[in-house]
Amino acid sequence: MRWTLKAKPEPSKVKQLSKDLQVDEIVAALLIQRGIETYDDAKQFFRPSLDDLHDPFLMKDMDKAVERIEKAIAEGENILVFGDYDVDGTTSVALMSSYLKTRTEAVATYIPDRYEEGYGVSYMGIDFAHDNDFSLIIALDCGVKAIEKVAYAKEKGIDFIICDHHRPGNELPKAIAVLDPKRDDCNYPYDELCGCGVGFKLIQALASNEGKTAEDLVEYLDLVATAIGADIVPITGENRTLAYFGLQVINGNPRPGIKAIIAQVKKEELTITDVVFIVAPRINAAGRMKHGNHAVTLLTETDFNLAVKYAIDIEQFNTDRKEADQHITEEALQQIENNKEQEGFTTVVYHEDWHKGVIGIVASRLIETYYRPTLVFTKSGDKLAASARSVSGFDVYNALEACSEHIEQFGGHKYAAGLTLKSENYEAFKQAFEDEVSKTIDKSLLTPEIRIDAQIDLKDITPKFYRILKQFAPFGPSNMTPIFMTENLKDTGYGKCVGEDDKHLRITVTQPKADKIVAIGFNLGDKCDLITNRKSFKAVYSIDENEWQGNVSLQLKLRDIKE
């Protein structure tokens, strides 16, 4: 692990903010690192308000999208809500269809089959729309590159509205409206929305025509918060506001589908991390193992008893997904071991029988072991399909773009992408990808990095300090859980390895002039010798609470320790 201590903010700014907010300087410095430099910034950060949301009509083409949808509603046209099979896509479809159904009966949903149709807008979907008399398709979380498909729909008399957040190509589809804050010609103030977030801006604009505000749309925010967490977008600005209120809905009065998922895992208060690791994988499992329609059915169901039945099915898909993921990860790790002589700057593996639904998860797992930009390929029809995942700081999308002569189709963003290619191009692509990464990656990025917010002493860790840190939530990209470093630590002598195979470390640390505090280090069992015989060591950690037999105490969650 590389330990990188973030630069200390300017002392005068820290002092001023500390004084203005009446917080200690450690808290003030943490805020400035997150771009919060004034009392007003802090007020917006700690007390998010729906009034902070931007006017949706600031988004390019929003007026055209609203006008076309209002016309469709007024004239009783059939509207097809189309979205991808992942969490962002299925929550977007659930959001848009459930809102439109409050305005018109003539709404249906369409999720492409992961295996027959693949990612994004599909010809099969357009044919379905044509065969069933749909004259308007609203595509969510996809479509910004679907130039030929939108033209094909136009030939069949079908209009398109696209709500996407992926990077557009050089040309935009000739749709009625292309809502995408990443468009070069779009001046919307915040361009990190997920697909469901763009969908929410569209329903916010439609609702404003009826004199409604964001306050009237709060019930949809459980879906938006789930998509924000799952799609790993920055939890800053508008995303932070949407996630903050969405979590309140999830923990207070979620839709029956989400309530049914939570009821199965018997978790009381969910954080955004819980949403990412509990709710999102189950929604995702439907599209991975069976069909994304199952997720939309669950998320749009209004009867809780029925939702419970659907959630049981989805739980089974999730169990199947876990088994497939574990089995394929083992095979992929073995494949890498067998080809050690070919080791380079990338990890690229392929097996024609691997389940297409889990190759993205497998790619993430491989990065945990071999920290390299990673591609996992499988057979998909007469082509090969891959999921790409990257290491922190490296843009895998740009690397794929540089190899595009070997690729049939690709899309995604900095850290995650998908692609297809012809099997005869696999070896040439593999070499081109390795060459591109070796040429462009900063070699230090191939060692996992822990970014440390501040160096502190144990005496700084008080209940009041932790209460303020908790208010930094929801955490996520660009607003991660604060990470601290403390030096000159010693174990009280009772530290030990715990868990299966002594994988984890549990110690009680002390420092001169400070109270002792318990620290737990998951997967740090191999560092046990560093803390024995009252040796001095330093640690990197976050702070959380431990509840045991009704008593709540602060503890350190160790990320790494060194001599």
SS3 per-residue string spanning 413-431: CCCEEEEEEEHHHHHHHHH
Per-residue pLDDT of 371-408, as tens digits, reads 999 999 999 889 999 999 999 999 999 999 999 999 99
Higher pLDDT, 117 or 171: 171
Please report the sign of the dihedral spanned by the C-alpha atoms of residue 149, residue 150, residue 153, residue 155: negative
The pLDDT of residue 280: 94
User: Would you give the distance in Å from CA 114 to the centre of its chain?
Assistant: 20
Least confident of 37-41, 100-104, 243-247, 510-514: 510-514
Band of pLDDT at residue 497, cut at 50, 70 and 90: confident
Q: Where in the chain do CATH 2.40.50.460 domains reside? A: 453-562
What mean pLDDT do residues 278-293 have?
91
Per-residue pLDDT of 3-39, as tens digits, reads 999 999 999 999 999 999 999 999 999 999 999 999 9
What mean pLDDT do residues 240-260 have?
97
The pLDDT of residue 374: 97
The pLDDT of residue 268: 82
What mean pLDDT do residues 119-147 have?
96
* Neighbour tally for 150: CB within 10 Å: 24
The pLDDT of residue 258: 96
Per-residue pLDDT of 147-190, as tens digits, reads 999 999 999 999 999 999 998 989 999 999 999 999 999 999 99
Q: pTM for the whole thing? A: 0.91
The architecture in CATH of the region 339-446 reads: Roll (3.10)
Pure H helices in 47-112: 62-74, 87-100
Residue 321 confidence (pLDDT) above 70: yes
The pLDDT of residue 387: 95
The pLDDT of residue 89: 96
Band of pLDDT at residue 494, cut at 50, 70 and 90: confident
Return the percentage of the chain with pLDDT > 70, whole number: 100
Q: What is the dihedral of CA 262, 267, 269, 275, to 10 degrees?
A: -50
Residue 343 confidence (pLDDT) above 80: no
278 CB-near residues (< 8 Å, 6+ apart)? 261, 262, 265, 267, 270
Token output for 240: 């932070």
Q: What integer best gives the mean pLDDT of the chain?
A: 94
What mean pLDDT do residues 212-217 have?
96
Q: Where in the chain do CATH 3.90.1640.30 domains reside? A: 56-315
The pLDDT of residue 495: 83
The pLDDT of residue 288: 86
The angle that helices 237-252 and 221-230 make with each other, rounded to 10 degrees, is: 120
Residue with tokens 């431990």: 546
Band of pLDDT at residue 232, cut at 50, 70 and 90: confident
Band of pLDDT at residue 324, cut at 50, 70 and 90: very high
Q: Number of C-alpha atoms within 13 angstroms, CB side, residue 280?
A: 22
Band of pLDDT at residue 119, cut at 50, 70 and 90: confident
Name the DSSP class of 288: I
Per-residue pLDDT of 443-475, as tens digits, reads 999 999 999 999 999 999 999 999 999 999 999
Q: What are phi and psi of 352, to 5 degrees?
A: -65, -20
Residue 341 confidence (pLDDT) above 70: no
The architecture in CATH of the region 56-315 reads: Alpha-Beta Complex (3.90)
Least confident of 80-89, 223-232, 333-342: 333-342
Q: What are phi and psi of 158, to 5 degrees?
A: -110, 125
Q: Quick one: the chain helix, strand, coil %, rounded to 5? A: 50, 20, 35
The architecture in CATH of the region 453-562 reads: Beta Barrel (2.40)
The pLDDT of residue 342: 67
